[in-house]
């Protein structure tokens, strides 16, 4: 990691053992001890009972009794430390043991439904990625039936690569852009769907015969940071992403915050200009109408004199625009400068309202470094009232395209874990 002006840090997702939040005893909602001990083990990859006693502040007798139940139920198993380290043991007595998740016991799938491509990841119960797949799609609004059919094709492709079937999957997480009510599985509005108010989670579950959980794609990205990335060791942080839209996720007390009705934190649709540019949501002046892919491509077509041609995709136009900016094309530079100023305004508002420990800029468009140049971050800090405090930290996380599906894996694993440890889940039948 390299520090820059304004607390900027650039990094890629670190390879750490285990998956899930590492901090213990942070969440305000009490959880059953079974769940706490299981999640502690999964987060660290391996753990001893002594680790649990010391870190969680639980009695040794309770840890011993509950972990024995988890082993009997097939969720955890013992492995010797000697076996884990492959070092010969010296001396007598029983070798020390660690606990690990029985990874092969359950499987989950995470999927991101995108504008140009749908992606999927197959994971075991420990969070280890087993396989990945993607299918192209056309960037236009779809009926629920078409979206379900495309999703089923992606699932079949993913599972067939491993000789598996839907009956081998225990939970599915799905993300898409727009307003998504995670609690009900309804989609009040999405640029992916041709009509509002769709009960999409129920349609997926009917089609697949597997418990399916739905969420906004920015929330998935935030879960990916919390479970697999730079947010694992943080209790409070914000994630802002710039793709075909502008999204935001917020973690408070080690938990994803969704708002009272599950559709909050729509940073891309906060207003930055009265009667401003037209957003794809149908309203004017939204932040994403100045910063998102389609907004930059809209101006790029004019700047590159390609407004009469429909042959180039928005991504191709952006690549050309970025190359021209690198070469010093003033029109291209002015487009990125303007977008950067609007992004600075949006980030300043995030810091002012939520005071997060760190703001993580994440997603594929982080390659366009004009959007987080020194001038952009300096302007963000200048617009933010901080008093005598140090400026907010900003980190750039360079993920690949599968990060969204990894976040959906976290969504599916979290739901499956809660159901299993409460004893309410049975393996889904194949669709």
E strand or H helix that includes residue 246: strand 246-252
Provide mean pLDDT across the span 304-317: 63
Side-chain half-sphere exposure of 238, counting CA atoms within 13 A: 23
> How does strand 107-113 pair with strand 117-124?
antiparallel
52: enclosing H helix or E strand: helix 49-56
What is the mean pLDDT of the segment spanning 136-157? Answer: 93
pTM: 0.86
- Cβ count near 387 (within 10 Å): 4
Mean pLDDT of the chain: 86
Work out the pLDDT band at 92, boundaries 50, 70, 90. Answer: low
pLDDT of residue 115: 84
pLDDT (0 to 100) of residue 430: 38
What pLDDT is attached to residue 427? 46
Q: What is the pLDDT of residue 376?
A: 86
- pLDDT at residue 107 is higher than 90: yes
Binning pLDDT at 50, 70 and 90, where does residue 51 land? very high
- Give residue 365's pLDDT band: very low, low, confident or very high (50, 70, 90): low
Confidence tier at 316 by pLDDT (50, 70, 90) = confident
Question: Cβ–Cβ contacts within 10 Å for residue 160, how many?
Answer: 12
Mean pLDDT of 392-407: 87
Checking if the pLDDT of 85 tops 50, the result is: no
Question: Helices 49-56 and 33-44, interaxial angle, to 10°?
Answer: 110
Question: How far, in whole angstroms, is CA 63 from its chain's centroid?
Answer: 32
CA distances from 74 to 69, 87, 183, 208 (A): 9, 27, 29, 26
Q: What is the mean pLDDT of residues 251-259?
A: 90
Domains and CATH numbers, the chain: 15-103 (1.10.10), 105-222+403-421 (3.30.420.40), 233-398 (3.30.420.40)
Residue 424: pLDDT above 80?
no
Kindly state the average pLDDT of the residues 110-117.
92
Q: In sequence order, which residues have a C-beta less than 8 Å from that of residue 430 and are 6 or more positions away?
A: 165, 166, 167, 209
For residue 196, give both structure tokens. 């509002």
Quickly count: other Cβ atoms within 10 Å of residue 221's Cβ: 30
Q: Can you give the pLDDT at residue 42? A: 97
- Percent of the chain whose predicted confidence (pLDDT) is above 70: 87
Ranges of beta strands (E only) in 68-181 are 76-80, 97-101, 107-113, 117-124, 129-136, 171-176, 179-181
Task: Report how far apart, in Å, the C-alpha atoms of 355 and of each of 62, 237, 335, 343, 390 are.
Answer: 38, 9, 29, 17, 12
Instruction: Find, among 181, 168, 182, the residue nearest to 210 by Cα.
Output: 168
In this prediction, residue 93 has a pLDDT band, given cuts at 50, 70 and 90, of low
Residues with Cβ within 8 Å of 277's Cβ and at least 6 positions away in sequence, in order, are: 284, 285, 286, 289, 290, 295
pLDDT at 95: 65
The token pair at 158 is 């993913």
pLDDT value at position 295?
A: 86
Reading the block at residue 185, the tokens are 């599985």
| Residue 431: pLDDT over 70 | no
Mean pLDDT across 3-30? 65
In 3D space, the residue among 330, 253, 244 whose CA is nearest the CA of residue 291 turns out to be 244
Angle between the N-to-C axes of helices 144-160 and 200-208, in degrees from 0 to 180, rounded to the nearest 10 = 40
pLDDT band of residue 88 (cuts 50, 70, 90) is low
CA proximity to 223, closest of 32, 415, 33: 415
CA 125 distance to own-chain centroid: 18
- Among 1-10, 14-23, 164-173, 323-332, the range of highest mean pLDDT: 164-173
* pLDDT value at 310 more than 60: no
DSSP string, 346-410: HHHHHHHHH--SEEEEESGGGG-GGGG-HHHHHHHHHHS--TTSPPPEEEEEE--TTHHHHHHHH
| Residue pair 399/13 in contact by the 8 Å Cβ criterion | yes
pLDDT, greater one: 375 or 226? 226
Please report the sign of the dihedral spanned by the C-alpha atoms of residue 396, residue 398, residue 402, residue 406: negative
pLDDT digits (tens, 9 = 90+) for 261-306: 777 788 989 999 999 999 988 899 999 999 888 888 888 877 777 6
Q: What is the pLDDT of residues 60-73, one digit of tens each?
A: 999 999 999 999 99
The confidence band for 425, taking pLDDT boundaries of 50, 70 and 90, is very low
24 three-state secondary structure: coil
Whether 88 contacts 82, CB under 8 Å:
yes
Q: Is the pLDDT of residue 75 over 90?
A: yes
Q: What's the whole-number mean pLDDT along residues 371-376?
A: 79
């Amino acid at each position: 990691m390299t520090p820059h002006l304004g607390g900027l840090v650039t990094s890629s997702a670190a390879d750490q053992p285990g998956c899930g939040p590492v901090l213990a005893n942070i969440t305000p909602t009490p959880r059953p001890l079974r769940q706490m001990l299981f999640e502690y083990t999964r987060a660290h990859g391996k753990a001893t009972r002594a680790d649990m006693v010391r870190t969680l502040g639980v009695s040794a007798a309770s840890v011993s009794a509950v972990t024995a139940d988890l082993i009997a139920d097939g969720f955890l198993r013992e492995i010797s430390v000697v076996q884990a380290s492959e070092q010969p043991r010296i001396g007598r007595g029983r070798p020390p043991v660690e606990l690990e998740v029985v990874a092969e016991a359950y499987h989950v799938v995470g999927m991101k439904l995108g504008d140009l491509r749908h992606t999927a990841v197959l994971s075991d119960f420990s969070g280890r990625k087993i396989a990945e797949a993607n299918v192209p799609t056309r960037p236009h609004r779809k009926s629920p039936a078409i979206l379900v059919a495309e999703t089923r094709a992606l699932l079949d492709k993913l599972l067939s690569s491993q000789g598996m079937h839907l009956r081998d999957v225990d939970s599915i997480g799905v993300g898409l852009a727009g307003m998504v009510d995670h609690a009900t599985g309804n989609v009040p509005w999405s640029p992916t769907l041709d009509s509002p108010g769709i009960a999409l989670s129920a349609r997926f579950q009917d089609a697949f015969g597997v418990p399916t959980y739905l969420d906004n794609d920015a929330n998935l990205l935030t879960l990916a940071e919390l479970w697999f990335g730079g947010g694992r060791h943080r209790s409070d942080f914000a994630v802002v992403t710039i793709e075909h839209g502008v999204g935001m996720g917020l973690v408070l007390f080690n938990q994803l915050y969704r708002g009272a009705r599950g559709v909050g934190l729509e940073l891309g649709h906060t207003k930055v200009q009265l009667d401003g540019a037209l957003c794809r949501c149908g309203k004017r002046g939204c932040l994403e109408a100045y910063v998102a892919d389609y907004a930059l491509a809209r101006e790029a077509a004019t700047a590159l004199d390609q407004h009469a041609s429909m042959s180039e995709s928005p991504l191709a136009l952006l690549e050309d625009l970025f190359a021209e900016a690198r070469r010093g094309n003033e029109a291209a530079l002015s487009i990125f400068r303007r977008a950067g100023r609007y992004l600075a305004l949006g980030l300043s508002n995030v810091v002012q309202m939520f005071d997060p420990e760190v703001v993580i800029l994440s997603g594929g468009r982080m390659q366009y470094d004009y959007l987080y140049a020194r001038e952009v971050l300096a302007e963000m800090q200048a617009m933010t009232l901080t008093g005598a405090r140090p400026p907010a930290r900003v980190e750039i996380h360079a993920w690949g395209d599968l990060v969204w599906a990894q976040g959906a894996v976290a969504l599916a694993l979290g739901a499956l874990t809660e159901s299993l440890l409460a004893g309410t889940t049975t393996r889904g039948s194949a669709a």
